[in-house]
Amino acid sequence: MKAETPRTSAMLRDLKRAGLKMTPQRLAIVRLFAEDDEHPTAQDLFERLRAAFPTMSFATVYNTLDALAKAGLAGIVRLPGKRGDAARFDPNTEPHHHAVCDACGAVLDIAAGTLAPTPGAVKKLRRTAPGFHVHAVERIYRGLCGRCTASRS
């Protein structure tokens, strides 16, 4: 049997630890998802799994990703966009921001030590939005990814 990467192993362990049953479908979804750093949609994963599980229901993918999200093992990224913009799932549980390519829509993780607001941010919010109590600050870096920058020679 092929050895699993640390992230896959950790996700499977935590899934089990959370009291969830390890079905063949879930194993397959986790193994695909944990190694995918391109923020796949449910559709993406579903299509890649159809070969191995021709009868798998779409709901199973959603249910599993939902279970992962509830267990804190996955995040959901939703970005303003055109019609049909589906939610994207993120196996990275470390604190991080996102860089989004305006041209191709690619989403990259940008590591962050913490998402906690800086003292400066807290101060600023106290002025601009009195009464609002900040817990975390998320950032979205918008621009062009390397590939799209290159193709605009």
Partner DNA sequence: TTGCACCTTAGAACGATTCTAGTTAGGTTC
Partner DNA sequence: GAACCTAACTAGAATCGTTCTAAGGTGCAA
Position among 11, 30, 34, 42 found at the interface with DNA (CB under 7 A): 42
- Whether the Cβ atoms of residue 87 and residue 77 lie closer than 8 Å to each other: yes
Sign of the CA dihedral running 115, 121, 126, 128: negative
HSE value, Cβ hemisphere, 13 Å, CA-based, for 111: 1
Residue among 6, 80, 84, 113 that touches a second copy (CB under 8 A): 80
Q: Is residue 77 part of the contact set for DNA (CB under 7 A)?
A: no
Q: Of 91-150, which residues contact a second copy (CB under 8 A)?
A: 99, 101-102, 108, 110-111, 117, 121, 124-125, 128-147, 149-150
Radius of gyration from C-alpha coordinates of the chain: 18
Decide whether 28 or 108 has the Cβ nearer to a second copy. 108
Distance of alpha carbon 41 from its chain centroid, rounded?
9
What whole-number distance in Å separates Cα of residue 135 and Cα of residue 33? 28
Residue 22 interaction partner, one of a second copy, DNA, none, beta carbon < 5-8 Å per kind: DNA
Min dist CB 115 to a second copy, Å, is 8
- Identify the CA nearest to 92 among candidates 108, 73, 79, 68: 73
Q: Does 50 bind DNA (CB under 7 A)?
A: no
Give Cα 104 to chain centroid, integer Å.
17
Closest alpha carbon to 68 in 11, 111, 138: 11
Q: Is residue 69 part of the contact set for DNA (CB under 7 A)?
A: no
Q: Which of residues 29-68 bind a second copy (CB under 8 A)?
A: none
- When asked if residue 83 is in the footprint of DNA (CB under 7 A), the reply is yes
Give least dist CB 140 to a second copy, A: 4
For a second copy, the binding residues (CB under 8 A) are: 76-81, 85, 87, 99, 101-102, 108, 110-111, 117, 121, 124-125, 128-147, 149-150
